[in-house]
Each structure stands twice: as structure tokens, then as C-alpha cells.
Chain A
């Protein structure tokens, strides 16, 4: 029997390959850490399937070893994940139209899935909702698989994977370059405002707590400049060559 994949499936796999590498290996690193803290692969699977937030799960390992109180854990979770509040905004109508998949789309909106869904150019014949759902689902499959394998077999790995997490940096960089190259003028201003907000809050608040201030500052600046930016021409800039 020949396995016939839907075109949406192959397209979604292609789009998410960088996340497969990044989540796969980061997931393994998480699984290995959890296993070192005394929790077997079942726990790695469960926490990745349910929580599904990378940086929070690394904090989870620390929480489990330190044994913190529930209110402390709750506050840490809210402060680390507060950036998610911005991620749903562009997808409110799109996800709502997705019926049974609505809740899963909200649940699975990680940094990487958000950035990919914002950037993906879906060819006309493909079903947009199917592509969105598959990209979100595949990303979680990579993460859960990586975490479970890392906890189960991480000890056996003989190869030094240090630096593989740069795949995520490279992914966001590529998506940013794509945004820049295909952007109309307002989009380029947005990128500059985002970089400015990120770098300035990083310097003021330090490396561990600048993301939420950065997003708030960027959103505030964009709201402030909205009358100017929204009046910019919608057509592409001359000489883009793309």
C-alpha cells in the first residue's frame, strides 16, 4: 500500500522542520534533566503533553527538586508565561473559525508556533485551517517525543549536542528577515520598534525579566504611532526584488 499524505501534511512538515530540530533536541535536554532529578520518562511525557511551554518546564525541574510552595509556583508560572497574552491577538477570528480544533490551537500557541503561524505563506490550493492545525500539532509532537526520548535514552547519547538550541535563535532570525524582506513600510518600522524595545528593556531589566516589559513597550509605541504607520502605503517598496 502506498501511503498518501495530504498536501497540507507534507507542507506543514516542511514548514516545521527547523522546529523539529530545535524542539527535538531541547526536549531531549529537558527529559534528561528531569530524569537526573529522579523522574522517569512517563513524567517527561506527561509534563510535555500537558504544560507544553519550554522555558517553564525547565523551571519545573528546579521546582520539583527544590519543593516550592504552590503560591510561589503559581506566581512563577504567571510571570514566566505572561508574554503569551500577546500571542493570541492576531488569531482570535482565525482560531474561532476552526471548530473542534479551537481549544487545541489556543493551548498549543508557543513562541515558535506563534512566529511560524504569523509568517507562513500558504499556497492557494491548500486548506489554511488544516495547515495551521497540523503545524501546531507537529510542533508539540516534536517536543513531547524529544522530552520522552531524552528521559528514556538520554544517557546513551554519546554526541555533544551543545549549541543545538541555536536552531531556535536561527529560526526566529530567519522569520524576522522574511518579515523584513516581504514587509511593507509599516512592517519594517514594527521590526525596528521591536528591536529597540527588546534591547532597551534587556539593558534596563536584565536578561531574566525583560520580555513582558519589551512586549508592552513595543505595543505601546505601535499604538502611539498607529495613526502614522497605518497611513503608510500598503504596496511593496520599490526595488524589493522579491
Chain B
């Protein structure tokens, strides 16, 4: 691929990615105040979306890689436990990630 073709590819991906982000704003552009449905949904949806994102991050878990799966589960458990205990974002994320990297490298 030459430079211009690469630019075109990046341009197409940029435009369509923005399209997926701008779509809800375009759909509800005429509303000055959100409908009751949207207000309710906006309270209920974010926790569900974040839950889906956690599952998305753990998507590779499966019987084909018991070792890697166990590492991920143990470290997610560690992050949850640490966070309930100390409730310090940086501590939970930092220590959880460090332990995961160590486990991946050593075990």
C-alpha cells in the first residue's frame, strides 16, 4: 500500500468510527429535555455496560487455556478484594496488574 492509499484507509476508518460515536447525539438532537424513558435508561444502563466491558476484557477465558484463565480470574478476584478492603483505585489497579504480570511471567 502506498502513502495515499494508507491515508484513504485511515480516513475511512476515522469517519466511520466517528459515525458510531456521533449517532446517539444525532438521533436525539431535537430533544431539549430527555424523555422519561431515556432518563431511566441512562440511570440503569451505565452499570450494565461497565459489567459487559469487564466480561469483554475477560473474553479469552475458556477451557483451551486453563492456566491463563486461572491467572485472570485470580487477579480479578484480587482486584475486587483489594478494592472492597482499601477502596483505593490506584492501589487495586496497580497491585492487581503487577501480580498479573508476575504470574504470567513466572508461573
Q: Report Cα–Cα, A132/B60, bound state, in Å.
A: 32
Given A115-B50, A197-B52, residue A177 in contact with residue B93 (CB < 8 A) = no
B: contact size bracket:
35 or more
Asked whether A122 is an interface residue with its Cβ less than 8 Å from the other chain, the reply is no
* Chain B residue at minimal CB-CB distance from A57: B13
Asked whether A230 is an interface residue with its Cβ less than 8 Å from the other chain, the reply is yes
Among B1, B12, B42, contact of A74 (Cβ-Cβ < 8 Å): B12
CB pair A219 B45 closer than 8 Å: yes
Within B11-46, the residues touching A (CB, 8 Å) are: 11-14, 16-25, 28, 31, 33-34, 37-38, 40-46
Asked whether B101 is an interface residue with its Cβ less than 8 Å from the other chain, the reply is yes
Given A167-B93, A191-B51, residue A162 in contact with residue B12 (CB < 8 A) = no
Interface SS, A side? helix
Total number of residue pairs linking A and B with CB closer than 8 Å: 256
Asked whether A11 is an interface residue with its Cβ less than 8 Å from the other chain, the reply is no
Q: Report Cα–Cα, A210/B53, bound state, in Å.
A: 11
Q: For residue A215, which residues in chain B have a CB less than 8 angstroms away from its CB?
A: 49, 52
Asked whether A138 is an interface residue with its Cβ less than 8 Å from the other chain, the reply is no
CB pair A190 B45 closer than 8 Å: yes
CB pair A85 B18 closer than 8 Å: no
* Chain A residue at minimal CB-CB distance from B42: A90
Among A115, A170, A189, contact of B93 (Cβ-Cβ < 8 Å): A170
CB pair B24 A172 closer than 8 Å: no
Q: For residue B13, which residues in chain A have a CB less than 8 angstroms away from its CB?
A: 51, 56, 60, 73, 77
Asked whether A211 is an interface residue with its Cβ less than 8 Å from the other chain, the reply is yes
Asked whether A67 is an interface residue with its Cβ less than 8 Å from the other chain, the reply is yes
Would you give the shortest CB distance from A19 to chain B, in whole angstroms? 10
Q: For residue B34, which residues in chain A have a CB less than 8 angstroms away from its CB?
A: 92-93
Within B58-89, the residues touching A (CB, 8 Å) are: 58-60, 62, 72, 75-76, 79-80, 83-84, 87, 89
CB pair A198 B47 closer than 8 Å: no
- Interface mask (A159-180 → B, CB under 8 Å = 1, otherwise 0): 0111110111111111111111
Given A169-B72, A215-B52, residue A50 in contact with residue B14 (CB < 8 A) = yes
Nearest 7 CB-CB pairings of A with B: A194-B51, A198-B55, A194-B48, A88-B24, A163-B101, A169-B57, A190-B47
30 A-B Cβ contacts within 8 A? A17-B90, A18-B93, A21-B93, A43-B6, A51-B13, A77-B16, A78-B20, A81-B16, A86-B49, A89-B41, A92-B25, A93-B34, A96-B25, A114-B49, A166-B100, A169-B54, A170-B100, A177-B83, A178-B89, A188-B47, A190-B44, A190-B45, A191-B48, A194-B50, A198-B54, A207-B59, A215-B49, A219-B41, A222-B48, A230-B44
Residues of B within 8 A of A (CB): 1, 6, 8-14, 16-25, 28, 31, 33-34, 37-38, 40-60, 62, 72, 75-76, 79-80, 83-84, 87, 89-90, 92-94, 96-97, 100-101, 103-105
